[in-house]
Structures are given as C-alpha cells and as structure tokens.
A and B are shown apart, each in its own frame.
Chain A
Amino acid sequence: MLAALAALALLADDSGGGLLLEGAVAAGAGYDGGAALGPGGLGSTAGTVSAAAGAAVDLGESMGLYAGARLDGLYYADVADLSRTEVTGEASAEVELGRLALAAIPSGGWAWHGDPSRDGPVWTGRLVLRFRAAEALALRTSYAHASRGAADPVYASEWDRLTAGVELRLAERAFISVWAGAGWGDEVIYVPVTTAAAAAKGPGGGRSGGGGLAGSLPVKASAAERKAGIDLELGLGGGFHVELGATLGWVESEVADPIAVFSLLGQTGWRF
C-alpha cells in the first residue's frame, strides 16, 4: 500500500497534477433479512461501520488512479458468528472517454469473523462502466469476482456478480439510485439437522452452527442470487450525508427452495 501511494505521488509530480486525499467514514444500523440463508431465512438486526482513505491522482483530463485502505464492519446481533471486520487495500484505475468512464478496481485483504473458522483472505476484482447520460444522471454497470478464503473450506467461496444501476441527482446534494443485480457462486445454506445428513452427502457439508444458527448445519452449495434495491442519499453539507438503502431478492440453490432476502439499512457518514 505504501509503495502504491509512493508511486502515485511520483506520478502526480510527473503529471504536474496534485495528489488528492479522499476518504469516507460512515456508521449505520438496520435489519438484514438475509444475514444467513436457511429455510425461511435467518435475519438479524445489524450495525455497520466503514472507513476508507486513500490518495487519488488525475493524470490529465481523462485518467485517474487511486490507492487506499478500507475497513468494513458488519455486526449482527442475532447471528454473531457471521459478524465480520474486513480490512482491505483497494486501488482503481479509471479512464474517461467523454461521458463514458471505465474503472478497474482490484482489492485484497483479510476478514475476521465472530466464528474464527470463517476467517480468511478476501480478494476482489471489479470492472465498472459508467455512462453520464446527463449532468444529473449516471448509469453504471459492473462485473465483480470475489474470492473468500476460510480456515474451514465450507465457508470459502467464489462469486461472480453483474450489477446495473441508475443514479439520479434530484437536487444539489440529493441522489436516488435504483439497481438490480445477479450473482452466481458458492453459498452456505443452513439446513435443519434432520435433513443435514442427506445434504452432507451433496456438494458440501459442515458442522452445526452456533448462536442463532444452532440446530442447523452449514452446507456449501452452488447458488444464484437475484437482487434489486433502492438507495437514497441526502447531503447535509460539509461532506456529511445520510443514506437509506433497501434491497429485495432471492437465492436459489440445489439444497433448498428459493429463499427470500431483504434488508433495510440507514447510515450517516462524512466524505472528504
């Protein structure tokens, strides 16, 4: 990370541009109805914190680079095993061609969970295409691949995800985003112990969960997720803002009927 920042500083010096420090901190709370997947879903109230800081440099009018660090915390009141704290290094290279912008965003780090058998490295690669149709309207579509390692292989996963969204600026500092996404990959489904024996003979198996997951067994299975959401952001001035996000979707897998997932989370933050 330090090497990346030093490289950015040198590039900034060469290009005559300035090194811009940027970042954000936020905290929020809400309810995540898809905290864990099982018959009927396993929801929990949740608290979130996030902090990111990094340096960006504009290489001329059409290209920008960013490197920074990020902390994400997601804490469940009812399924503490799944609570996690992630620390990642993140970079992005962005090219703008008129109204079109393409960003490549690799990141990597480590995740700590309430249940240490889930701890492991996290790697993601993301590509985002942004089209600014009008000054107040941005269309985004993205592809992401995420790889999660874990001490217990049941909890390790590979995911691919496609997302498309529209962001509209309603007023000077008020935004609304509507998006939809589809993902494919490994999912952990918590099945009742009575059916766990049969499931364990399938694609994966595991031990009985703890906390809110007691009485169920985690089973690793191929899954597909469809999800859509709406996000409102209201700037309060000085970089402060409040956000409210809602998502709704379902997950299909080989080991369970489609499971509905939803979440409603609010947060407040400061961006600089």
Chain B
Amino acid sequence: MRIIRLAVLTALTAATPALGQDQTRQQDRVRDPSTHEPGAVPDQDRLRTRDQDQLKTGATGEATLTKKAGATEQARSQEPARIKEQTRAQVGGGQGTGDQARARDKSSDRAQERARDRQRDRAHASGQGGGSGYRGGR
C-alpha cells in the first residue's frame, strides 16, 4: 500500500513541472504573435488574450472585492465602539475623537467636582460644619 502511494506521489511530482511548462508555453504563444503557428488566426488569438486579460482583471476585481469585504467586516466590527465614541463626543458638545471625548468627560467630572466643592464650602461656614444642606440652628 505504501509502495503504491509512493509511486503515485512520484508520478505526480514528475508530471507537475511538465504540465506547468506546457501551460507556460501555450500562454507565451498566445501573448507573442511572432510565435504564431502557421494557420493560426490572429484575431482568435487576440480574443483569447483579451479573454485571459479580462479573466485577470476579473481576478483582480475579485481580490479588490475581497479586500473591500474584509474592510467592511472590520468596519462593522468597529462600528459599536465608533458609534459609542461619536455619541459621547456629540453629547459632549460636538464631534471629536475618543481622546477628545475622554478629555471632555474628564473636564466635565472636574467641573462637577468643583461645583460640589463650592457647595460644600458655602455650607461649611454656615453653622453646620459637615457641610450638609441643612442650615439649622438658632
């Protein structure tokens, strides 16, 4: 069994370069009009060449499409994060990058902290040192 498998593999290995050479030779013939065999119809050759070119273009187009599809997939996977950032930026008062939005968030936190500090400061000296809103006492 092993011997048969080896024989098949050897035969295939030997046959592949030969097939490749044959193909290359045929393609060269198609591309180079000077190698036309007598009796060949140049128009048909040109058509074949054009077909092959179209095929190539098609392949390239497919590659482009694949690339585009990949990019779309990537964009789709990034979409929730982007929307989140954009929403945050818009809530913060305009569009901006994530860094800008974060900076605005931080600035907003700081503003709230300052407002609370001011409120506690005002309450502190009013007789209730703890700074609660209650300003009781006589």
Partner of A165, one of B119, B124, B135, B137: B124
On whether the beta carbons of A263 and B136 are closer than 8 Å, the reply is yes
A59 to B120, CA, bound (A): 20
On whether the beta carbons of A177 and B131 are closer than 8 Å, the reply is yes
- The answer to the question of B25 belonging to the interface, with a C-beta cut-off of 8 Å to chain A, is no
- The answer to the question of B121 belonging to the interface, with a C-beta cut-off of 8 Å to chain A, is yes
Please provide the chain A residues from 9 to 36 with a CB less than 8 Å away from any CB of chain B in the complex: 20, 22, 24, 26, 28, 32, 34-36
**Shortest distance in angstroms between B35's beta carbon and chain A's nearest beta carbon?**
78
Partner of B121, one of A105, A247, A265, A267: A105
A227 to B128, CA, bound (A): 9
On whether the beta carbons of B115 and A22 are closer than 8 Å, the reply is yes
Please provide the chain A residues from 219 to 267 with a CB less than 8 Å away from any CB of chain B in the complex: 227-231, 233, 243, 245, 247, 263, 265, 267
- Which chain A positions have C-beta within 8 A of B121? 92, 94, 101, 103, 105, 128, 130, 140, 142
With both beta carbons as reference points, the residue of chain B lying nearest to A135 in the complex is identified as: B113
- The answer to the question of A212 belonging to the interface, with a C-beta cut-off of 8 Å to chain B, is no
**Shortest distance in angstroms between B30's beta carbon and chain A's nearest beta carbon?**
72
- The answer to the question of A37 belonging to the interface, with a C-beta cut-off of 8 Å to chain B, is yes
On whether the beta carbons of A142 and B125 are closer than 8 Å, the reply is yes
With both beta carbons as reference points, the residue of chain B lying nearest to A232 in the complex is identified as: B130
On whether the beta carbons of B136 and A32 are closer than 8 Å, the reply is yes
- The answer to the question of B126 belonging to the interface, with a C-beta cut-off of 8 Å to chain A, is yes
- Which chain B positions have C-beta within 8 A of A167? 120, 131
Query: By CB atoms of chain B within 10 A, which of A161, A163, A263 has the most?
Result: A163
A124 to B133, CA, bound (A): 16
- The answer to the question of B79 belonging to the interface, with a C-beta cut-off of 8 Å to chain A, is no
Q: Count the B residues whose beta carbon is within 8 Å of the partner chain — how many?
A: 25
On whether the beta carbons of A187 and B138 are closer than 8 Å, the reply is yes
On whether the beta carbons of A245 and B130 are closer than 8 Å, the reply is yes
- Which chain A positions have C-beta within 8 A of B137? 34
- The answer to the question of B61 belonging to the interface, with a C-beta cut-off of 8 Å to chain A, is no
On whether the beta carbons of B118 and A64 are closer than 8 Å, the reply is yes
A188 to B132, CA, bound (A): 25
- The answer to the question of A46 belonging to the interface, with a C-beta cut-off of 8 Å to chain B, is yes
On whether the beta carbons of B134 and A37 are closer than 8 Å, the reply is no
Partner of A56, one of B118, B120, B128, B132: B118
Q: Tell whether A177 pairs with B130 under 8 Å between CB atoms, given A36-B138, A74-B136.
A: yes
A130 to B138, CA, bound (A): 26
Q: Tell whether A233 pairs with B132 under 8 Å between CB atoms, given A130-B121, A163-B124.
A: yes
- The answer to the question of A193 belonging to the interface, with a C-beta cut-off of 8 Å to chain B, is no
- Which chain A positions have C-beta within 8 A of B132? 231, 233, 243, 245, 265, 267
On whether the beta carbons of B124 and A64 are closer than 8 Å, the reply is no
Please provide the chain B residues from 82 to 130 with a CB less than 8 Å away from any CB of chain A in the complex: 111, 114-122, 124-130
On whether the beta carbons of B118 and A181 are closer than 8 Å, the reply is no
Q: Tell whether A229 pairs with B125 under 8 Å between CB atoms, given A32-B136, A48-B136, A271-B116.
A: no
**Measuring CB to CB, which residues of chain B are less than 8 angstroms from any residue of chain A?**
111, 114-122, 124-138
Q: Provide a sorted-by-A list of 21 A–B residue pairs whose CB atoms are within 8 angstroms.
A: A22-B119, A48-B134, A52-B119, A56-B115, A58-B114, A64-B118, A72-B135, A94-B121, A105-B125, A126-B125, A127-B125, A140-B129, A165-B130, A167-B120, A179-B124, A180-B129, A181-B127, A183-B127, A231-B130, A243-B133, A267-B133
* Apart from the given pairs A22-B115, A74-B136, A101-B117, 4 other A-B contacts in the complex at a CB distance below 8 Å: A32-B136, A103-B118, A103-B121, A231-B131
